[in-house]
Structure 1
Amino acid sequence: MRRAVVKGVGHYLPERVVPNAEFEATLDTSDEWIKARSGIERRHFAAEGQTTSDLATRAAKAALDSAGLNADDIDAIILATSTADLTFPSAATMVQHAIGNTKGYAFDVQAVCAGFVYALSNANALIISGQANRVMVIGAETFSRIMDWTDRSTCVLFGDGAGALILEGQDGEGTTEDRGILATDLNSDGRYRDLLYVDGGVATQNTGQLRMEGKEVFRHAVEKLAATAHTALEKVGLDADDVDWVVPHQANIRIIQSTAKKLGVGMDRVVVTVQDHGNTSAASIPLALSVGVANGQIKQGDLLVTEAIGGGLAWGAVVLRW
């Protein structure tokens, strides 16, 4: 059986680090309030003029270095983002040019915070169908560009960053011991569009700002994230006891903890980076994967589950052996 196996991983964070205390000058908030409700202690913001494709390019180059590959070794680039530089062309084509890839194809995927899971699933499909052999999958965001800085319930939660994986087609035995992506599960329900959205776009002729019904998003997140992770594991006859690491979307420590409990996984088997990065939307899972590898947590052969939920609502999970 053809498998999409992780060949390399990398990430990039903008230089500017914004601690919680920085918000105290302009908002009725505090470091203690933010930490208690989200687990976030700091986040990174892109510099003036620094775009999503800039961050993605840095992460892409780091992943190439990790994999020991050149840009033209990549057949396809999939970039998950909700904050592309322009309406079109895709940010992925900008990354393609910036890294010097001239032989592949590139496109964006937009599923907000679930974007990286959707992009991984698409990359897996391209590889197992023979349409590509090596696919670079990137999650990158500059959510600092769409914040309402007067809304303390949202603007303290988000940050900027990028992470990238390179997947390569390899032959496996068709068992759960194979390295690579073993199962995916994708879902969406447009009835909940008003729970998390940006009030701008082509229809309004402005960029808009992020709006969120936090309590409702929290409720849906815990239920749907645990369910999609269970479903993905069940597709290949595995359960939570088989999982070495859960690498969740890093939105809120309470969501992460509640989902892990519902899954039946201890927090000692959960990669957590939300304290340092905040919610970086589609970038949060690849960032966490890259940091987990760098910290010596994630090792070759480990069984991972990644799960995420975002505006749409859109949610999903991927089971992969590193």
Structure 2
Amino acid sequence: MKKRILSIVLILCMVFMLMPTVALASEVTVTTEEELRAAVQTSGTINLGADIALSEPLIVNDPAEHGFNLTLNMNGHTLTGVINLTACRFTLNGRLDADVEAKAYVDPSNQWPSWLDGGTYAGQVRFKNTAIMSGIFLNKVSGQGSIAGGTFYEDVNCGSVAGGSFFKSCTTTDSIWAGIFYGAYNQDKVAADCSVRYNSDDEVHAIEFADTFASSSVLGAEAPSKKGYTFLGWYEKDTNGEFLETPMEFPFSSDNLRRRTIDVYALWAPVISGVEDGKTYCTAQTVTVLDNDAVRSVTVNDEPITLENNQFTLNPAEGTQTIVVTDKAGNVFEITVTVNDGHTYEWESENG
């Protein structure tokens, strides 16, 4: 328990150290590399007014103002090359193509970490004694910093994780307190006391960790994809394996999990094929109903239908016929068609 408290306190301390302590000094628009290099020497907001390709690494570090703020608004322009951040609270708006290296400034008595917040990072990110608070990361992220949030589409190597979504592998040297993992992660580093497994078609789509001591929220995994199907939501099942009628609603407090692991399951809308709503047919039609695992009942004009290999025959009948498919969560899907016994024609006389 002491280790758990200490680890969380250390993460929180880093976040608090990173919170802004100085006012933004200026706002400028730059169109050249020289203007950009001059602008990053003090706290402020920089608006990019043109595409810039850095000829050498851009050094962002003011020894006289450790822990200063810098906001970079891309405004649809590109910035390529390498950016070195030291003791900088860096906020990004837009997409940054440059590689980023972020670290703390350390002296014998103290250290001033960096942080990254917001925006989309297309280049690689390397960080040490730095916190990633939010943002979209399209390339690899590596180092010994902490991650508190963000979306990561490539492999991640870091210190600790207290939030974020990881679509490839995430390797940590310290604890995992919260986060959604779609790929591999260090199971022996999980310190969270509750989790949610997101299951889709008998496979684990993702697992989310949360911790009641840290009062973290369960955010919900992204919807899986299944060709030809519509995702209806994440559902729990009862002790008989039947879907509950109400989908899970996100976010919710980890306190609701009571320090346990729960399983939720993807529910897909049944697909009715072989006939189209509102159409008229002249012979019997073969109707297919998928996804059979989630189908509770099928009726035609309120008469129960038994499926064979997910199919049944819709025979000719007088008037319209309404096919109703009810899934195991109680959702209802309808198609109404007309099936005649042969072709029907409406003749008109010469006199109308």
Q: Give TM-score, length-normalised by structure 2.
A: 0.20
Instruction: Indicate the structure (1 or 2) with the bigger Cα radius of gyration.
Output: 2
Greater relative contact order (Cα < 8 A, sep 6+): 1
Q: Return the structure number with greater strand share.
A: 2
Q: Return the structure number with greater helix share.
A: 1
